[in-house]
Structure 1
């Protein structure tokens, strides 16, 4: 597992971060989202952003939706001098 800072706005079971390529700083961020009854959340919107702690500028990197098992995954280029934030939103249905 790699050491990058991931902040979350909602409760999730776990965030796993794997370093895919040390040279290019490519990482996989993945996890599973559960509701308060400990059931998988299908169709949740998960957004990832990069934050520069010096300038406080936030850069949108992408989004995905959870599958029927509450699973999501991102592959990002990450930097040690930045923070990364996940925002999770309930399904619309």
Structure 2
């Protein structure tokens, strides 16, 4: 019985690690795509900031709806806000 608990813990750790890796890959891909579109003048920096801010707003609404049951939405909001702030330095 104790062995089952250990196996369950290992599965949770594996799933959490996979989710974290997926999240990191996704954010890197989106940031790279955003910068690529900006550099090719397909998307302006202002447009990119607006898109990211919409995503942050949606994430914030999800966090409010979940009432703090999961810190993931809050962390996502913080990350998206940081990306938007970073891009705002390029508006000029």
Taking structure 2 as the reference length, the TM-score comes to 0.21
- More strand, by proportion: 1
- More helix, by proportion: 2
Larger Rg: 2
